[in-house]
A and B are shown apart, each in its own frame.
Chain A
């Protein structure tokens, strides 16, 4: 079965950095896009960043452009989110999600369990 195991969250000071990992299994890693999505406490969902199946298609949301970098390692079947210059407002649960297939591939078909990132001094 499809699994997305998210790790790397924790407490970090403003201006600090953190790298999140999302280890994928149960599907052919190179066939699917992956995204990072976050949810601030008590708030809605915010899409952050997308990487295509081969890693050559990347796009980011405005709130993280220039600070967060998505990447993927095919050998490890893992997608990463490098987060730099963290702000208090980046405090959230961070999810990774896998895209769909076929004509309706622009959907988030499977989600990881999420990891909490807390930015505080």
Chain B
């Protein structure tokens, strides 16, 4: 069973700064099925990145996904006030088939 861990649990930064969120898998996973989501209070999550590095439709270029194997990163190059939220990574596994979410990283101002 694959486990996703995220670090840090909470990240305190200011607008204009760079944010880096890590997602580590307990074993090597496919980049094809690694995604990142943003969730704001009271809202449903929103897809940011899929295939480890592809921005979803309408996602600003300041959101950058990278990584492979067991280590993946979401970088926000210059934080805007609306970026303060919780970020989750997600993977699909073949055996057993199913989806896994990381525990989340809270980005605080």
A interface residues with partner B (beta carbon < 8 Å): 35, 44-47, 50, 59-61, 95, 100, 103-104, 106-114
Contacts of A108 in B (CB 8 A): 35, 37, 45, 47, 90, 99
B interface residues with partner A (beta carbon < 8 Å): 32-33, 35, 37, 39, 44-47, 50-51, 54, 56, 88, 90, 92, 96-104
Q: A108-B47, A109-B47, A111-B46 are in contact. Are A59 and B98 (CB under 8 A)?
A: yes
Q: Are A95 and B44 in contact (CB under 8 A)?
A: yes
Q: Are B101 and A104 in contact (CB under 8 A)?
A: no
Chain A nearest CB: distance from B102 CB in Å?
A: 8
Query: How many residue pairs bridge A and B at CB < 8 Å?
Result: 64
| CB closest chain-A residue, reference B45 | A111
From B37, B44, B103, contact of A112 by CB (8 A): B44
From A46, A60, A100, A112, contact of B101 by CB (8 A): A46
Assembly CA distance A47 to B101 (angstroms): 7
Assembly CA distance A110 to B51 (angstroms): 16
Contacts of A61 in B (CB 8 A): 98
